[in-house]
């Protein structure tokens, strides 16, 4: 029995060395004897572990060489090596990450073949551990090449595309290898990439706005720098795989300084011009943000600014109407407490009121002639209609007070129905 035992140990040792030797050969995954031999060591965990380690070390060297070949050597079908596209940063990083991703299932399949005769309860775990171990060999090369690309001299849009490529491959590789040096490397690269992107983004925005936003054109449409930056924002937002948090960061870094610059420019304009220009700029931005529903919070901020400008413009329009219709003195006298009949006061007598109401009738027929010229420069038809409606409400309120005062017997107007021939409801229908 002792002799048989010694012979078995000798045979195991011989099989062990043969198996390790076989694992070091490049085509070891295709050797049908290796999986059978490995299965004999299931109950000898130390030897089993050593064989797996040697296999992993051998595959590391092979995978690294395959990666270097993919980077530097032209394929048999004439395809250019990856390094050939080093000047195209997005394609270069994309090709590298795609190569890394496609080699993972190949190596996993090799490991599954290697352990196919094993019946270990934790076989899947051991396969994943071994796969993680093999893929670690690519991390230094991946790091070096990525860091050569991730420089602040690149266009922010390219850097953002690269960041999203890294994030994409990080997610899909995590589905196969949930932890380990490869996942940590990709995570660190995505962090570095985003940092460089933010740095270049801030630099671009600062450069674009270094001289402020130029005075708006005569039509009060958004300036060129505004449309360019909003268009650039849309390009960034349309990069696939952009997360909700990332989009908020991008918007903050672009729109906050842009809105500040717009405000500074608008401050040098007249009140009406300022409101119209601000509304046009905000509307242009809102149209872009409306494509991304997750940004409701920022849209609310813009809406609050928009409403403030609408209030200002409504006040300007109402004042313009009151002045052009000569309603100011009438409104003032209607508010004052006067002893005696209102009809006895100069400017409120029947003749004066009839003159005013003739002009008011002309306004009711052609209200567009009494609008602020700037109102027609609003891009948003909704803004335009809203300002007109609210301004007309002010005029209607004054007319209603006048109507009541004329029809009040104590004010001494004879035949009031011949003075104010239209009821407030009739005026409302004409204006609204």
Please report the pLDDT score of residue 27 as a whole number.
Answer: 65
Task: Output 4 or 35, whichever has higher pLDDT.
Answer: 35
Q: Which residues contact 67 (CB under 8 A, 6 or more apart)?
A: 99, 100, 103, 138, 141
Among candidates 241, 165, 232, 152, which has minimal Cα distance to 198?
A: 152
Q: Which helix (H) or strand (E) holds 184?
A: helix 181-208
Task: Output 67 or 40, whichever has higher pLDDT.
Answer: 67
Please report the pLDDT score of residue 279 as a whole number.
Answer: 94
- Under DSSP, is residue 322 helix (H, G, I), strand (E, B) or coil? helix
Among candidates 62, 63, 72, which has minimal Cα distance to 95?
A: 72
Q: Which residues contact 166 (CB under 8 A, 6 or more apart)?
A: 93, 97, 146, 186, 189, 190, 193
Beta strands in 274-328 (DSSP E): none
Asked if residue 136 lies in contact with residue 180, where contact means CB atoms within 8 angstroms, the answer is: yes
Q: Is the pLDDT of residue 178 over 70?
A: yes
- The residues spanned by each domain of the chain are 1-154, 202-312, 314-431
Mean predicted confidence (pLDDT) in 337-343: 79
pTM value is 0.79
Between 153-157, 212-216, 226-230, the lowest mean confidence (pLDDT) is in 212-216
Among candidates 411, 422, 418, 427, which has minimal Cα distance to 349?
A: 411
Please report the pLDDT score of residue 252 as a whole number.
Answer: 85
Name the band, by pLDDT with cuts 50, 70 and 90, for residue 294.
Answer: low
Residue for token digits 């060297």?
Answer: 61
Please report the pLDDT score of residue 243 as a whole number.
Answer: 63
**Torsion angle (degrees, nearest 10) of CA 334, 337, 338, 340:** 100
Write the pLDDT tens digit of every residue in 45-78: 787 777 778 888 888 888 899 889 888 887 777 6
Please report the pLDDT score of residue 28 as a whole number.
Answer: 62
Q: Is the pLDDT of residue 93 over 70?
A: yes
Asked if residue 23 lies in contact with residue 54, where contact means CB atoms within 8 angstroms, the answer is: yes
Q: Which fold has domain 314-431?
A: Monooxygenase (1.20.1280)
Asked if residue 412 lies in contact with residue 341, where contact means CB atoms within 8 angstroms, the answer is: yes
Between 1-10, 217-226, 291-300, 317-326, the lowest mean confidence (pLDDT) is in 1-10
């Amino acid at each position: 029995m002792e002799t048989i035992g010694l012979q078995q140990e000798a045979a195991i040792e011989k099989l062990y060395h043969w198996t390790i030797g076989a694992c070091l050969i490049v085509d070891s995954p295709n050797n049908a004897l290796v999986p059978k031999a490995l299965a004999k060591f299931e109950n000898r965990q130390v030897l089993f572990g050593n064989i797996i380690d040697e296999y992993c070390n051998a595959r590391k060297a092979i995978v690294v060489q395959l990666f270097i070949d993919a980077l530097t050597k032209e394929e048999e079908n004439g395809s250019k090596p990856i390094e050939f596209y080093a000047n195209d940063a997005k394609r270069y990083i994309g090709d590298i990450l795609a190569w890394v991703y496609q080699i993972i299932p190949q190596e996993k399949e090799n490991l599954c073949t290697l352990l196919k005769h094993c019946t270990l309860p934790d076989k899947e775990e051991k396969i994943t551990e071994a796969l993680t171990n093999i893929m670690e060999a690519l991390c230094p090369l991946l790091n070096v090449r990525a860091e050569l690309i991730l420089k602040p001299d690149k266009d922010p849009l390219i850097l953002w595309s690269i960041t999203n490529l890294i994030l994409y491959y990080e997610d899909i590789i995590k589905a196969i290898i949930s932890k380990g040096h490869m996942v940590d490397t990709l995570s660190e690269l995505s962090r570095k990439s985003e940092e460089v992107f933010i740095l270049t983004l801030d630099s671009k925005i600062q450069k674009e706005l270094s001289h402020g936003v130029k005075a708006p054109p005569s039509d009060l449409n958004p300036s060129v720098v505004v449309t360019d930056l909003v268009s650039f924002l849309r390009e960034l937002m349309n990069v696939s795989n952009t997360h909700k948090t990332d989009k908020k960061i991008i918007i903050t870094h672009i729109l906050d300084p842009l809105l500040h610059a717009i405000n500074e420019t608008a401050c040098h304009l007249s009140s009406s011009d300022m409101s119209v220009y601000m509304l046009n700029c905000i509307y242009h931005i809102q149209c872009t943000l409306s494509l991304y529903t997750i940004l409701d919070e920022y849209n609310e901020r813009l809406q609050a600014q928009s409403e403030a400008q609408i209030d200002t413009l409504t006040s300007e329009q109402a004042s313009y109407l009151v002045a052009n219709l000569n309603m100011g003195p009438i409104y003032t006298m209607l508010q004052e407490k006067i002893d005696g009949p209102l009809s006895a006061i100069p400017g409120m007598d029947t003749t004066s009121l009839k003159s005013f109401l003739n002009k008011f009738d002309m306004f009711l027929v052609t209200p567009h002639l009494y609008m602020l010229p700037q109102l027609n420069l609003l891009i948003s038809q909704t803004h335009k209609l809203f300002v007109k409606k609210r301004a007309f409400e002010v005029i209607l309120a004054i007319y209603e007070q006048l109507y009541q005062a004329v029809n009040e017997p104590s004010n001494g107007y004879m035949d009031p129905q011949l003075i104010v021939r239209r009821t407030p409801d009739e005026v409302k229908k004409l204006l609204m």
